[in-house]
Amino acid sequence: MVELARPQPEWRVLDVGTGTGHTALAFAPYVQEVIGVDLTEEMLQEAAGLARERGVHNVSFREADVHRLPQTFDASFELVTCRRVAHHFSDIERAVSEMARTLRPGGLLLIDDRSVPEDDWIDETMHRLDCLHDASHVASIGPALTAAGLSVEALGLYTKHRPVSSLTDRVVPGDVEQIHAILNGLSTAERAKLRLEMVNGELRPTHWYVLVAARAAATDKQPG
């Protein structure tokens, strides 16, 4: 994300759904200021503690909902980042609109999130697995960027072959059983679609992701 954004020393950055602050802290060395926002106070406390441990002083964290970002954020940031959390937003169109509102003219929105290929069965199956892993999962990111007045500059799809424990860690036993039942019940053709393989004694399905960079319109106001 840092490489794609090419951050500049004078930039202010907003990191939405910052969690424990890893994305915010990754951008901090390259910009003037980063503000990380999240709904979970416990996560924000961990993020602030991590910043203190690393001696990072240009990052701050505050509680905020992406669907109702503070009015004081209007047109305040050259860059807004959102990593691996957009699929939890209950209203992706509203969330993207709010993030776009905080961008300065010509600013960049950078979203890295879960995705699926154009295959209805994979879409449905991964959605079931994601919901069992985390009940707050809503859907993979949809086409909400142009509706918010943003133009897509880059879109990259990539995959990771992750252990099944990435789906079952910190999940209640009943849902863990359902996750394993879904994976164990797949046909040979379905297993091939997910590239479900046994590696070092553990099943590994494929996970799909998308990295999107979208630009706000530059101001068309003329001086004077």
pLDDT > 90 fraction of the chain, expressed in percent and rounded: 69
* Contact in structure between 80 and 145 (CB atoms under 8 Å): no
Task: Kindly report the pTM of this predicted structure.
Answer: 0.84
Binned at pLDDT 50, 70 and 90, residue 116 comes out as confident
144-197 residue pLDDT tens: 677 788 998 988 888 999 999 989 998 999 999 999 999 999 999 999 999 999
* Cα 83 to chain centroid, rounded: 3
182-198 residue pLDDT tens: 999 999 999 999 999 98
pLDDT > 70 fraction of the chain, expressed in percent and rounded: 93
Binned at pLDDT 50, 70 and 90, residue 6 comes out as very high
